[in-house]
Structure 1
Amino acid sequence: MNLVVERTYRKNLHTKGLIFMNGAEYEVVIKNLSITGALAEFHSVNYSSDVKDIFSNLQASTKHDLYLPELSLAGEVEIVRVDSEGDYIFLALEFKNVSHHIDSVLYKRKAYRKSIADTGKILIDGVFVEFTSVNVSVDGLMIEINQAVSLPENTLTHFAFQRLSLEGEIKVVWVEQLADNKTLMGLKYVKLGKIQPE
């Protein structure tokens, strides 16, 4: 018996979502969904930009934020293919850093996140531990630590992030242990200051 699956199974559906591209929020309809991605339908008539402008914006950056309220799913997606038909644009999306069951966590907000991968330090049990940022926003940041760490939600601690010249106090919003013994953490700014040059 041949058990090779040639393509990822996709479920057809019709659910509304929001995609944040180039500083603006757009409504899309998800036409089908798989474990690795989705096909989104974008109706350009609903917005002032014409199709050429939208295509130009899509080519400027392929990674964007996606929020699907009905599925409680949100995170970053990469646009891997763009097709058009009349006033409709079809976006083939590949999931990156997607979170499920997010009603009470990170994405119930208007502050979208920008992908920035750089190193910083966070204070855990009296010791500064190095982290790599996943994304940042005006409210906080998501980080990855190359070891298993445990911090209760609402813990207040300190951090320093040289890329944005920021340091100060942060609150732990959520912690997720990854399969490879790493830790993913959502943090919210409490008190911020500029890193002073030495």
Structure 2
Amino acid sequence: MANEHDRKEYRKSLTSSGQIFIGGEILEFKSYDVSVKGIMVEVYPGRFLTEIEDFEALLVENDSAEIFVEELRLTGSVEVVWVKQEADKILLGLEYRDVRHNEQKLWVQRAAYRQKKSFSCLLIYDHGRINARGIDISVIGLALTGDFKGSDIKTGDIVKLQLFSTPVNKAVAKIVWLKENDEGSTTLGLRYLEID
């Protein structure tokens, strides 16, 4: 069994920039510590994932993400095993699930499946239907915005979606995060459970 000294030899301090696809957003990050099992990164706030509480709420529902580390040319899927805040930095601990080296092209191909795209959407839930506007779509989920005042929609709810002008026509999805916008609308991040 490896002792602590042996383990430290497998960890390397590495400062590199990169990107992480998490919760429907692509965020920039800076890596600090890399090992054979995972990597620690400082993630920069995005449009919807802006504070540590946003990441904590997301991880309750979904701990999967995809990364690209520029200097290592490493890309693939990871599990977010912890999130913490140090001073004004949001740090994530990531464990590799399926990663490849020298695969920048693969990251570009995966990014092609994540599109900033405006489309119409009908969200159907237990107590009614709401017209919404899609703003992002990917192979694992989507983000949409609309006026959800008066509805009791919350994180964790399962909803049905009817999508227009997208490769997916109908879907059942889970709300993994929601954010109130300044102008009074709400943006939802959803992960597909079934698609048609």
Query: What is the TM-score with the length of structure 1 in the denominator?
Result: 0.50
Instruction: Give the deviation of 1:103 after TM superposition.
Output: 3.3
Query: Structure 2 CA distance, aligned partners of 1:14 and 1:38?
Result: 11
Larger Rg: 1
Corresponding residue number in structure 2 for 1:56 = 57
| Structure 1 residues 5-24: aligned runs within 5 Å | 5-6=3-4, 7=7, 9-24=10-25
User: In structure 2, do the counterparts of structure 1 residues 112 and 5 end up closer, same or farther at CA, with 3 Å as the change threshold?
Assistant: farther
Asked if 1:108 is matched to 2:108, the reply is yes
User: In structure 2, do the counterparts of structure 1 residues 74 and 91 end up closer, same or farther at CA, with 3 Å as the change threshold?
Assistant: same
Query: Structure 1 CA distance, aligned partners of 2:68 and 2:113?
Result: 10
User: In structure 2, do the counterparts of structure 1 residues 21 and 95 end up closer, same or farther at CA, with 3 Å as the change threshold?
Assistant: same
Corresponding residue number in structure 1 for 2:31 = 30
Query: Structure 2 CA distance, aligned partners of 1:5 and 1:47?
Result: 42
Corresponding residue number in structure 1 for 2:92 = 91
Q: Greater CA deviation, 63-72 or 47-56?
A: 47-56
Query: Structure 2 CA distance, aligned partners of 1:83 and 1:103?
Result: 28
Query: What is the TM-score with the length of structure 2 in the denominator?
Result: 0.50
Deviation readout 1:77-118 (Å, 9 max, x if unpaired):
0011111123311111100110111134x22231358xxxxx
Matched AA of 1:4: A
Corresponding residue number in structure 2 for 1:80 = 81
Q: Which runs of 5+ in 2 are unaligned?
A: 115-137, 141-170, 172-195
Instruction: Give the deviation of 1:26 after TM superposition.
Output: 0.6
Query: Structure 1 CA distance, aligned partners of 2:62 and 2:75?
Result: 19
Query: Structure 1 CA distance, aligned partners of 2:82 and 2:54?
Result: 16
Query: Structure 2 CA distance, aligned partners of 1:74 and 1:36?
Result: 14
**Is this contact kept in 1: 2:20–2:67, CA < 8 A?**
yes
Corresponding residue number in structure 2 for 1:40 = 41
Deviation readout 1:148-180 (Å, 9 max, x if unpaired):
xxxxxxxxxxxxxxxx9xxxxxxxxxxxxxxxx
Deviation readout 1:7-29 (Å, 9 max, x if unpaired):
35211011011011111111111
Query: Structure 2 CA distance, aligned partners of 1:86 and 1:92?
Result: 17
What secondary structure is seen at the aligned counterpart in 1 of 2:71? helix
Instruction: Give the deviation of 1:47 after TM superposition.
Output: 4.6
Deviation readout 1:33-71 (Å, 9 max, x if unpaired):
011100111233x65633322321233211100011221
Corresponding residue number in structure 2 for 1:71 = 72
Query: Structure 1 CA distance, aligned partners of 2:60 and 2:18?
Result: 21
User: In structure 2, do the counterparts of structure 1 residues 66 and 112 end up closer, same or farther at CA, with 3 Å as the change threshold?
Assistant: farther
Query: Structure 2 CA distance, aligned partners of 1:112 and 1:65?
Result: 13
**CA RMSD, 1 decimal:** 2.8
Q: How many residues align?
A: 114
| Structure 1 residues 42-191: aligned runs within 5 Å | 42-44=43-45, 47=47, 49-104=50-105, 106-109=106-109, 110-111=111-112, 137=139
What secondary structure is seen at the aligned counterpart in 2 of 1:91? strand
Q: Which has the higher contact order (CA 8 A, sep 6+)?
A: 2
